[in-house]
Structure 1
Amino acid sequence: DRMRGALALTFAGLAGGAAITYPTVLEAAEGVVHPLAIEHVPFGNYGFNTRGFNGGIPGPTFRMKPGETLRIDFTNNLSAANNVACPDTAGEFCESATSNLHTHGLHISSKGKEDGLAHYSDDVFADVLPGETETYSFTIPENHMGGTHWYHPHHHHATAIQAGGGAAGVLIVDDPEGYLPPEYANMSEHILFISGHNLANLADIAARAQSTILEGALNAANTANLAANVFFVNGQALPTLTLESHTWHRLRMAYAAVEQGLALQVTGDATCTLKLLAKDGIYVTDLPRDIATVMLFPGARADVAVSCTCTAYPCTGMLASNAGRRLQPGRGRGGGPGANDMVAADLLELSITQGPSTSVVALPATSVQRPCYLVDLRSAAVPDAQSKRLALNGGGRTVTVDGQGASMTYANTHANGGTMATWPALTTFPVGSVHELQVTGVGAHPLHLHVVPFQITAMPAAEYSGGFFKVGDWHDTLMIMEMAGGPGGQVTIRQQTDKFTGKMVVHCHILEHEDEGMMGFIDISGTEGTIYADAATLDSTCYAAAFNNTGTWATPATVDANAGDAGDAANSAVSHGPTVTAAMLGAMAGLSY
């Protein structure tokens, strides 16, 4: 409360207008190990440091193909002086210089060296201490769906200060050749890593963790008359993206923040049409879906096609978040907005120039072929023993399954000589089967599950947020701000425990809540590699191996009408930083980046 009046949702003081830039792209390749260092980096032009990767915010963009392995040498260059132990901070924010690496959204193993692997996979219980380097080896199945994901540190009690402070980046799984119709595959692509930084909250967490990094962030911003609630796109404040008119552009958006939600629309002189392609790296079944607002909350991703025109060229639009609907103002210990606040912020200026076409290509209604781990589960038979209740309880900072589960505070995990390694599972799911969870709390807390995504199979209304959320959609992180609490706010989800055994972490993606104990895990048991035997019965077109390009695409039985007339196909282009391939790595030896 001491900061609430001073913060007052002020976003002024950031100079904008520079052309958007893109991080370096690092591609997975056989025999290639990419260096990734978490270290102290400048926080924009604010004059203080935060934590980032390879010298900046955000880190490099990683790209990989289904079936590939992304290998990373992860080095912790953080200062050991900030690594104050949890008993010494007497709270839940501590060990702020111990780190690790999480690939948010990948369908991947959660195991590590303690499980017998030569290198870590997506093991968020690993500890990489200051001065140490560990090799991570991320292998995804050959039928992994292409999509937009991201990566960030996930050391419990330090996730908020590291990931929320800027240590994060985009990770893209490329679509197989021929997976999308050419009208989609040939869109120009723009990777937008959006990060929100509430300096009041970050400074408060840093003080509690006894970390000198970010502890003075709010005072420094106030002294310099700079915004205390900061939003970056690719590490820039209010950059400009130039788009040709009458052309579909694919915006790959990933959003990172400790808290705070965004409801994005395009305002200004430009007239822009938005169509939803994918959420959390999984294509919607009614491709393309007409939307007016893109709903983002911590951890969420959205792939959106946008096409704009002007009454007179050139013209401008603004990708901005609408503050007209505030559900629970004043959340967040630092006094700033919380995840279920709709934040007022201008993020990205769109400069629309006149393109060669005078009409817009009609995007065909399409239902892409799905990997067998993503078949529609709404008609699947779920045994009673595999239908459970999951509750997100913010007040108690707990995640429970059928009422079982305690807060993962430091005191609880270390009681009676225990450790994080001995903490019990919330429940056990057998691998290669379908499980159902009736979830409460997603109206106020972003639910995130590791290892495998989940499908919405029921909720109080058929859709929310103007159709952005629909029954049948897939997510790995879900928050529906319009839903009321209590029984009326229940969402039913289903998922396949496909292939991977081990710990499937589940937590609230308000990172402050996670660090304070709102986390647990479900143990996936059985034989590694087991798949759901009835997947092909539910969808005979699903593929369990690599995608086979037939050059044909299905049309959904019911779709929304497409606006626009047929015209010239959009030129294929991808907007990102320089791509580093295996052939280039030799020439880069000895360089720092």
Structure 2
Amino acid sequence: MGFRTKLSCCAAALLVPATTLSGCGSDAAPSAATASSPQPSSSVQGAVQGARLQDPAELVSRDGLLRTRIVVERRKVDVGGRKLWALTYNGRYMPPTLRIRPGDTVELDFVNRLSPYTNLHVHGLHVSPSGHADNVLIHIHPDETFHYSYRFPKSLKPGTYWYHSHAHPLSAPQVAGGLAGVIVVDGLREFLPPALRNVTEHVIALKDFQVQGDAVKTEGLKIGAPTNRTVNGQLKPTIPIRPGEVQLWRLANISANIYYKLRLRGQRFTVVGRDGFPVDTTFARDTLVLEAGARFDVLVTGGPTGKTVLETLPYNTGPAGNQFPQADLATVVSSGTPVPPVALPSAFAPPEDLSRLPIAVRRTVAFSENSAGTKYYINDKQFDPNRVDFTSKLGTVEEWTVRNDSNEEHSFHVHTNHFQLMSINGRPHHGHSLQDIADVPTKGHIVIRIRMTDYTGKTVVHCHILNHEDAGMMAIQEIVK
């Protein structure tokens, strides 16, 4: 993993002048104290409950280019209304949202002030996995600046993505410590009816932290330990909406290890996107399960005047897994002048369907672990950065059976290309879009189809429960011409 470069380190400016840093228009709220922890055994003391939701600041591309800098360092910052030592991007526990459009270029100076090393992954984005793009096989060492250069295709899908550390085997402690933020690719509104083109939009970044003394815990992480679940780094914020108003929420699980089963009491989520891919047909759900790394773009309609709760319901990942308890995440307050009803869309984006394309290769990807839950495997092998596990040809479609031989669920993730989830435990599945994350049931299997487009190079396949990835559940896929 010797791919590294060192540039002259400039002054410690967090943002370069060419970058736009902004809130989310009139919907952004000023800084305020935040609410108390949902789990008393790991609670954050002294926070004020009910602060208005703050959308993260934004770094926005202009004229096809986003040129910026991200500084990685450990700092004492506001985390859920309390000053704690955390790992930060640009001095924030909830860092800026990177906002781009299809076809854009991103030039990013990445300054590392951590020890021993880190790197950056742009999760879900269809971009080269090689060189100075989405190359997760590099290490950026302390006091080094690495220049990332991403050139995104015009075919890039609009939706919600995220960025985080992918430094093996440190991804779990670094993401749990704070190194995770949101990426938005604009263009989703173009599929909405005219009456909703100016819809209010909120990032709902689901990010949890455990506390050790006066710091966010990064060592000895236990997946099922009591934790503080935040929305945009806030504990139990308040989300304002008018009765009948439709809002676009970008739900993103950017936690290191945990699952969410979201419910907005008394309301339904209308799904318009999954993992950065707009759906072909919208669908409504009372609950949405966001396995580790997953995202949903949803429309939410304000109910009658009053309050309701955005919560995560109890969720069990299996006999060898974890039981995540119920927790309130935010309070949605419906008030003000009612908005006349607007019909929500049904047909949405052009369909993406790989089911009728010829299959070049069929393969099996088996997830397993030892009885102690300390070592994790793909096809009976632990991750080796010097070994290629799968070789795929550019321009072909492959069908993979992803098998889970363990007694806990795993969050299957592929870099570079999205896949179509064809079936779960033999039952046909139609998710209305491609995706980059899928839950694999205990002692079960899923079947996916994936097309290798545009880019060659070494990329990775892994479980996005980052404790599992760090303990070996990752493999290298090389895409060749």
Higher helix share: 1
Q: Which amino acid aligns with 1:317?
A: T
Residue 294 in structure 1 maps to residue 328 in structure 2: no
Write the mapping of 1:25-104 to structure 2, written as runs, cut at 5 A. Answer: 25-29=58-62, 32-41=66-75, 42=77, 43-78=79-114, 80=115, 83=116, 98-104=117-123
- 1:440 deviates by 1.3
Q: Does 1:394 align with 2:372?
A: no
The answer on whether the counterparts of 1:35 and 1:73 sit within 8 Å (CA) in structure 2 is yes
Matched residue of 2:410: which SS?
coil
Give the distance between the partners of 1:356 and 1:47, measured in 2 at CA: 39
Q: Determine the structure 2 residue equivalent to 1:369.
A: 350
Taking a change above 3 Å as real, the CA distance of residues 392 and 8 of structure 1, as seen in their structure-2 partners, is: farther
Where does residue 437 of structure 2 map in the other structure? 477
Give the aligned residue type for 1:326.
N
1:241-390 equivalences in 2 (<5 Å) = 241-267=239-265, 271-287=266-282, 289-310=283-304, 313=305, 315-323=306-314, 325-328=315-318, 331=321, 338=322, 341-357=323-339, 359-370=340-351, 375-383=352-360, 386-390=361-365
Q: Tell me by how many angstroms 1:304 deviates.
A: 1.1
Determine helix, strand or coil for the equivalent of 1:190. Answer: strand
Unaligned runs of 5+ in 1: 1-6, 84-97, 113-119, 209-213, 216-226, 332-337, 414-419, 464-468, 527-593
Determine if the alignment matches structure 1 residue 449 to structure 2 residue 444: no
Work out the CA distance in 1 between the residues paired with 2:99 and 2:320.
38
Query: How much does 1:348 deviate?
Result: 1.1
Contact 2:84/2:215, CA 8 A, preserved across alignment: no
Q: Deviations over 1:234-272 (max 9, x none)?
A: 1111111101111211100111222221111112xxx42
The answer to whether the Cα contact below 8 Å between 1:378 and 1:472 also exists between their aligned partners in 2 is: no
Structure 1 residues 207 and 356: CA distance shift in structure 2, 3 A: closer
SS of match in other structure, 1:17 = coil
Judging changes above 3 Å, is the alpha-carbon distance between structure 1 residues 510 and 205 closer, same or farther for their aligned structure 2 residues?
farther
Q: Report if the CA contact (8 A) 2:461-2:476 is conserved.
A: yes
Give the SS at the match of 2:359.
Answer: coil
How far does the alpha carbon of each residue in 1:399-442 deviate from its partner, in whole angstroms, 9 at most, with x for none? 22xxxx6202xxxx4xxxxxx3xx11112100011111011129
Instruction: Indicate whether 1:236 and 2:217 are aligned.
Output: no
1:103-252 mapped onto 2 (5 Å cutoff) = 103-112=122-131, 120-175=132-187, 178-199=190-211, 206-207=218-219, 228-252=226-250
Amino acid at match of 1:513: H
Distance in 2 (alpha carbons) for counterparts of 1:451 and 1:251: 25
Q: What is the distance in 2 between the residues matched to 1:266 and 1:456?
A: 26
Equivalent in the alignment of 1:458: 423
Deviations 1:533-570 (A, max 9, x none): xxxxxxxxxxxxxxxxxxxxxxxxxxxxxxxxxxxxxx
Equivalent pair of 2:66/2:105 in contact (CA under 8 Å): no
Q: Structure 1 pair 207/250, CA: closer, same or farther in 2 (3 Å)?
A: closer
Q: Counterparts of 2:41 and 2:260 in 1: how far apart (Å)?
A: 13
Alignment of 1:539-550 (within 5 A): none
Shift of 1:327: 4.4
Offset at residue 387 of structure 1 (A): 0.7
Note if contact 1:65-1:176 (Cα within 8 Å) is conserved in structure 2: no
Larger Rg: 1
Matches within 5 A, 1:471-510: 471=431, 473-479=433-439, 483=441, 485-486=442-443, 489-510=444-465
CA–CA distance in structure 1, aligned partners of residues 347 and 187 of structure 2: 15
- What amino acid is the match of 1:297? E
**Secondary structure at the counterpart of residue 99 of structure 2:** strand
| Cα distance in 1 for residues equivalent to 2:168 and 2:415 | 15
Name the residue aligned to 1:428.
Answer: 391
The answer to which structure, 1 or 2, has the higher relative contact order (CA under 8 A, 6+ apart) is 1
Counterparts of 1:247 and 1:461 in 2: how far apart (Å)? 40
Counterpart of 1:557 in structure 2 is none
C-alpha distance in 2 between matches for 1:245 and 1:103: 36
Q: How far is 1:282 from its partner? A: 0.9
* Aligned amino acid, residue 285 of structure 1: D
Structure in which a larger fraction of residues adopt strand: 2
Give the Cα–Cα distance (whole angstroms) in 1 for the partners of residues 416 and 210 of structure 2: 29
How much identity, in percent, do the aligned residues show?
A: 29
Aligned to 1:161, the other structure's residue is in SS state helix
Deviation at 1:185, TM superposition (A): 3.2
* Unaligned segments of structure 2, at least 5 residues: 1-38
Assess if the C-alpha contact under 8 Å between 2:460 and 2:475 holds in 1. yes
The aligned counterpart of 2:14 is: none
What's the CA shift for 1:472? 5.3
- Does the CA contact (< 8 Å) of 1:246 and 1:355 recur in 2? no
Tell me, in whole angstroms, the C-alpha distance in 1 between the residues paired with 2:41 and 2:287: 21
8 Å Cα contact 2:209/2:217 also seen in 1: no
Contact 2:210–2:216 (CA<8 Å) still a contact in 1? no
Q: What's the TM-score once normalised by structure 2's chain length?
A: 0.83
Q: CA RMSD in A?
A: 2.7
